[in-house]
Every structure is written in C-alpha cells, then in structure tokens.
C-alpha cells in the first residue's frame, strides 16, 4: 500500500455525557492501536430545534421516544471538557479529534485540533462548510445519505474556500447498517469520479466490511466503539467493544502488509523454495552415453535445480553426453 491507513476510533457520544468514561474511551482506543480517537462537539441550541424528532434507529436503540434535544442534552460534553480531553490524548499518546456540529463548535475546536471531520449531516450546510474550509486544514468528509451530486457540491464548496487535502468517506447512515445497504463499491466510484483519496465510515455490526474497505484501497477507516454495547445510548449497539476494535485494527494492518506493490515478482522467501517446489528434466530410466533423449527415457521431477521442463522440446532428440542413471538430473555438454 502507498501509505498507512488512518484508523479513527469513533467514540462519538458513547461517553454518555461523562468525562470519566470519555477518558476511558481514549485509553481503550490507544490500547487497541487506533491512530485517532474522535468525539462530537455541539452547541445544543445551534444543533437542533425543540421539535426535531429522534431517528428511528435512535428510538429502537434506546427504547425511548423523546425529542432529539432531550436525548442529546444527556449525551453532550461541555466545551471545556474537550480541552481536557485534548490534553489527555497527548498524555496517553493518541491523536485527538472531535467533529463539530455547528459554527460555534468549529471556532472552539480550531485551536486544539489540526484536521476536521465533517459528518454526513453537514455536507449540505453551506455556511458550515465555508467556515471549515477557511481554516485551511485538511478535511475528512463523510457522505452518508448523499447523492453523487451532493458530494460534488459539498466538495466544491470546501475546495473553493481554501480547504486543505480532502478525503471523502463512503458511508451509510444507519445504525447498524445491514450488509445489503453497504454498497462498498461506491467508495471506488467516489475515488474515480472525484480524484481524491477515499475511505470508509462503517456502521455495520462486526469488522468484515472495514477490512474489505482497506483491501479495496481505503486510506481512512472510521468505526464506532464503546466500552460495552450494553450501555444506554443511541450508538452503543452499532459499536465495537474494545477487543473487537483491536481485532479490526490488527486485521487492517495485516491487509496493509498483504497488499504490497503492483509488481509481480517472487519474494525472497519464495526464492528459497523454488528449487524444492519446481521440477527439472530427469532420466526416467538408465541412459547410455550417446543415446537419444526421448519421451520414453526422460521425465520431469523435483528438485528444480536442473534443466527447466520448459526446454523439453529442445532436449528431445539430443544425445546423452555421458551415462545417466534413473532419477539423475540431465545435463548437456558443450557443443
């Protein structure tokens, strides 16, 4: 692979409004080998109106029906906690990132992180995209719920207003996402159409799809994780637990190694096995000096350190330069 896959452990709001749990998520992400641990930052008043309903998956996953505002009021951390989390990430040794959901949050987070993650719900929010782009920082852009035209429009706003390098993530906004809704090949369409790096933000159960995305060329993998799927909240049920996250990270790193280069050539270790596995032209029976080589007195057997069987036709009809015993490698003399 050309470069290492950036693995984002998406803590989101799985801290349930607790700074202590958020710190435990930071440690878990680090221990699992993720590159970044990501949270979500929002000013509740700017994010959602009083009348905004919960999504169906939120009702199902929480077993409750209330307004989005009431639900989120119990999940969001205050701004000052993100400064503490940013410092704690430096202490632990993992990169901090939080997704802003409004312009106030963008301005607050700007001094404490060096890249942006734009969530799927903001890709049609023109003022928001302009504010992100004006910082000049690199952007990771999720595209859940989007048509290709919407992705192109959002990307154009970012590019036209000074955004840095943009990576576009294929995503299906459903928690959890059924396998038949993943449509992973769309990630390749995004890459080929938009001419930019692509990745995958996963909401399926399990780790198979992120691994497949890495094999297809994703440069970023984002995956929700939690300390326990039994915790109360809208996203826990579609999240990995730490042991599963560790397994996913290990698998993606193995895929990176396995992809290698585009050149077809034997590895150094393969070369050691070549003579053992390949065959040579060998005497099928005792052959006297001067006897003509025929299909009757020649055969091919291991090892492969003699004359290659690919020269079979050129050996037939030649005469033995000496006596050969059965199973002896055939040799040709100087002409």
Q: Which positions ≥6 away from 245 have C-beta within 8 Å?
A: 9, 28, 29, 32, 34, 223, 225
Q: Is residue 156 part of a domain?
A: yes
Predicted pLDDT at 214: 97
Q: Cβ–Cβ contacts within 10 Å for residue 29, how many?
A: 28
Regarding whether 149 and 114 lie in a shared domain, the answer is yes
Residues 196 and 216 in one domain: yes
- End position of a domain, from candidates 234, 259, 284: 259
pTM, rounded to two decimals: 0.87
**SS3 assignment, position 145:** coil
Q: 191 and 67 in one domain?
A: yes
Q: Are 151 and 65 within one domain? A: yes
Q: Which domain holds residue 332?
A: 266-335
Within this chain, do residues 172 and 61 fall inside the same structural domain, yes or no?
yes
pLDDT of residue 72: 78
Q: What is the pLDDT of residue 64?
A: 77
Same domain membership, residue 273 and residue 250: no
Are residue 322 and residue 219 in the same domain, yes or no?
no
Residues 164 and 20 in one domain: yes
Q: Is residue 204 part of a domain?
A: yes
Same domain, 283 and 331: yes
pLDDT score for 60: 75
Same domain for 216 and 273: no
- Choosing from 192, 225, 259, the residue where a domain stops is 259
Q: Considering the domain boundaries, does residue 1 fall inside one?
A: no
Considering the domain architecture, whether residues 152 and 274 belong to the same structural domain is answered as no
Q: What is the pLDDT of residue 1?
A: 42
**Contact yes or no for 198/230 (Cβ under 8 A):** no
**Which residues, 6 or more positions from 30, have their beta carbon under 8 angstroms from its beta carbon?**
37, 92, 93, 94
In a domain, 314, yes or no: yes
Within a domain: 304: yes
Does a structural domain hold residue 227?
yes
C-alpha to C-alpha distance for 233 and 52, rounded to whole angstroms: 18
Distance from the first to the final alpha carbon of the chain: 49
Residue 335's pLDDT is what?
46
Within-domain flag for 275: yes
10-residue block means of pLDDT along the chain (335 residues)? 86 95 98 98 86 76 76 88 98 98 97 98 98 98 98 98 98 94 98 97 96 98 96 88 98 95 93 96 98 98 97 98 98 77
Please indicate, yes or no, whether residues 155 and 13 belong to a single structural domain of this protein: yes
Domain end (from 259, 283, 316): 259
Backbone angles phi, psi at 70, to 5 degrees: -65, -40
- Check which CATH number belongs to the domain holding 194 and give it: 3.20.20.70
Q: What gap in Å lies between CA 281 and CA 51, rounded to an integer?
A: 83
Domain count, the chain: 2
Residue 31 placed within a domain: yes
| The pLDDT of residue 235 | 84
- The CATH number of the domain where 307 resides is what? 3.90.1210.10
């Amino acid at each position: 692979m050309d470069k290492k896959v950036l693995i984002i452990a998406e803590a989101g709001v799985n801290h349930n409004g607790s700074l202590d749990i958020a710190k435990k998520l930071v440690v878990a992400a680090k221990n699992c080998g993720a590159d970044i641990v990501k949270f979500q930052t929002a000013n509740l008043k700017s994010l959602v109106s009083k009348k905004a309903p919960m999504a169906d998956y939120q009702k199902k996953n929480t077993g409750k029906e209330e307004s989005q505002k009431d639900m989120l009021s119990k999940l969001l951390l205050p701004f000052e906690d993100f400064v503490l989390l940013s410092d704690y990430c430096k202490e632990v040794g993992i990169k901090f990132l939080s997704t802003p959901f409004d312009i106030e949050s963008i301005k607050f987070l700007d001094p404490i992180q060096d890249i942006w993650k734009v969530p799927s719900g903001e890709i049609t929010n023109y003022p928001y995209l302009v504010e992100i782009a004006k910082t000049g920082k690199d952007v990771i852009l999720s595209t859940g719920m989007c048509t290709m035209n919407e992705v192109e429009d959002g990307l154009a706003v970012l590019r036209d207003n000074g955004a840095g390098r943009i990576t576009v993530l294929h995503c299906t906004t459903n928690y959890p996402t059924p396998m038949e809704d993943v449509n992973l090949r769309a990630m390749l369409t995004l890459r080929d159409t938009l001419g930019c790096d692509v990745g995958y933000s996963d909401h399926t159960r399990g780790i198979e799809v992120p691994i497949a995305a890495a094999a297809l060329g994703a440069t970023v993998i984002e995956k929700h994780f939690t300390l326990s799927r039994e915790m109360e909240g809208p996203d826990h049920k579609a999240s990995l637990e730490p042991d599963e996250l560790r397994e996913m990270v290990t698998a993606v790193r193995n895929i990176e190694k396995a992809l290698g280069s585009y050149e077809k050539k034997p590895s150094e270790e393969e070369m050691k096995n070549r003579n053992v596995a390949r065959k040579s032209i060998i005497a099928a029976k005792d052959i006297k000096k001067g006897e003509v080589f025929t299909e009757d007195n020649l055969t091919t057997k291991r090892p492969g350190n003699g004359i290659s069987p690919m020269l079979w036709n050129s050996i037939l009809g030649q005469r033995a330069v000496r006596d050969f015993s059965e199973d002896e490698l055939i040799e040709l003399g100087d002409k």
